[in-house]
Amino acid sequence: MYKYPTIFFLLALSIWSCSKDEKPIVITPNDYNNAVDKVTEVIIHDIFSPPVASRIYAYSNIAAYEVLVQKNKDYKSLAGKLTDLKPAPQASADAPVNYDLAALIAQMEIAKTLIFSEDKITALRDSLYTSWEKQNPTELSASKEYGLKVADHIKSWMDGDMYKQTRTMPKFSVNPDNPSRWQPTPPAYMDGIEPHWMKIRPFVIDSASQFKPLPPPEFSMEKDSEFYKQLIEVYDVRNAMTSEGDDSEKIAIAQFWDCNPYVSTHKGHLMFATKKITPGGHWIGIVKIATQKTNSNLMETVHAYTKTSIALFDGFISCWDEKYRSNLIRPETLINQYIDDSWAPVLQTPPFPEYSSGHSVVSGAAAEVLTQIYGDDFSFEDDTEVAYGLPVRNFTSFRTASSEAAMSRLYGGIHYRAAIEEGLKQGRQIGDYIVKNLNLKTDTAQAAN
């Protein structure tokens, strides 16, 4: 008569023993930093353009944020705040979901979807799955199910942003008969990249043209014109540069903020790419520095990444809208044609029209968001470029860093002053708009601060 009760007792004891050995899986801010670093690594490897890179960062971080916000009452969902984004699905009430774990899974799933070298993200994910499976298979299963459900929700929303449609749109047509219009630049003479990026759906700004900058100075090769004066300034600044004194600092600044993933090197008949971080990737690296310096928890870390990547994404849409509207020729082209055919800038000119400066715009936008989060007196050591052979630079604030990033384009010889100054204004206006219209802290959390 005791046969079956004994079996049931042993089965219950076995289940209890297994669950006793299963400890909650802990996801740290550093785990998330490592996942974002992997995304940056793949973006560099796959040579994604700066606008496309901003899209990869944004959607992957948004996916993680929308998972974490389900359990954190100090932050608000992005649903209803970003264009067309609906509330994420809820987890089953009785499912043992670890939201931190689910957030990281969602981030990796979206990142894997958006890059070419899926195997690199998959290898990281699978190594983590192996570790987590040993720790707590029950929690991993439930968290994976929920994380992938949110990722599917983000994918569905993502598919409506016009990106796929722009992949089949025509290349940019160069007008060689108009001396003011952009022409491909040496050494690779690449086509203009992403000429239809202004058609991509923005997140917070209401349209690509909402923050349209002032037009550039009217094109003129008359020596007393404003345009010609700015052209000659680029020429003179470069010619005055040496490896000593103040000019060596200008060279260092130009190289530090280069962030051109399209740099190509020629040796004889061979040409190969020197892979570099994008402007957005540099600012994502600064987010990591800020979160580590402040010992941010996971929610705070993901919040900073997400809000900054949203600013970068909208910044590129706004900037590219102006680039292909004004379609302005680069300094290098005019200097080689009319002034000095042997002149070369410090930096390699990137393959798209000149006005406004992309780095100026996105640096201004990112700096405003980070200033809102961490304050205007946040000093930091920027070691983002150490991996690419460049030394650390120190900044007293995010805005100071953005100003230097903008001026680096003049020192580098790739932009006129107007593109830099108006681009920085454009970016700061975008960043300020996002700060005012995307407040993600709840009233209770703000009162506590």
Q: Do residues 184 and 156 share a domain?
A: no
| End-of-domain residue from the set 164, 188, 211 | 164
Q: What is the pTM of this model?
A: 0.94
Cis peptide before 356 (omega within 30 of 0): yes
Q: Do residues 153 and 208 share a domain?
A: no
- The number of domains in the chain is 2
How many C-alpha atoms does 23 have within 13 Å on its Cβ side? 4
Q: Is residue 3 part of a domain?
A: no
Q: Is residue 290 part of a domain?
A: yes
Q: Do residues 395 and 250 share a domain?
A: yes
Query: Which stretches of the chain score pLDDT less than 50?
Result: 1-5, 7-18
Would you state the pLDDT for residue 244?
63
Q: Do residues 288 and 325 share a domain?
A: yes
Q: Do residues 424 and 314 share a domain?
A: yes
Would you state the pLDDT for residue 241?
87
Would you state the pLDDT for residue 447?
60
What tokens were used for 19? 């669950």
Q: Do residues 294 and 428 share a domain?
A: yes
What tokens were used for 90? 């809820």
Containing structural domain, residue 147: 22-164
Dihedral of the CA atoms 322, 342, 240, 244 (nearest 10)? Answer: 110
Q: Is residue 7 part of a domain?
A: no
Which residues pair with residue 393 across a beta bridge?
Answer: 382
Look at the block and give the residue holding tokens 């899209």.
55
Dihedral of the CA atoms 48, 53, 56, 61 (nearest 10)? Answer: 150
Tens digits of per-residue pLDDT, 267-312? 665 655 678 899 999 999 999 999 999 999 999 999 999 999 999 9
| End-of-domain residue from the set 109, 131, 164 | 164
Would you state the pLDDT for residue 267?
61
Nearest Cα to Cα of residue 56 among 41, 66, 71? 41
Would you state the pLDDT for residue 268?
61
Tens digits of per-residue pLDDT, 143-189? 999 999 999 999 999 999 999 999 999 999 999 899 999 999 999 99
Question: Which helix (H) or strand (E) is 393 found in, with range?
Answer: strand 393-395
| C-beta of residue 237 within 8 angstroms of C-beta of residue 410 | yes
Q: Is the dihedral of CA 262, 265, 270, 275 positive or negative?
A: negative
| End-of-domain residue from the set 115, 141, 164 | 164
Q: Do residues 268 and 289 share a domain?
A: yes
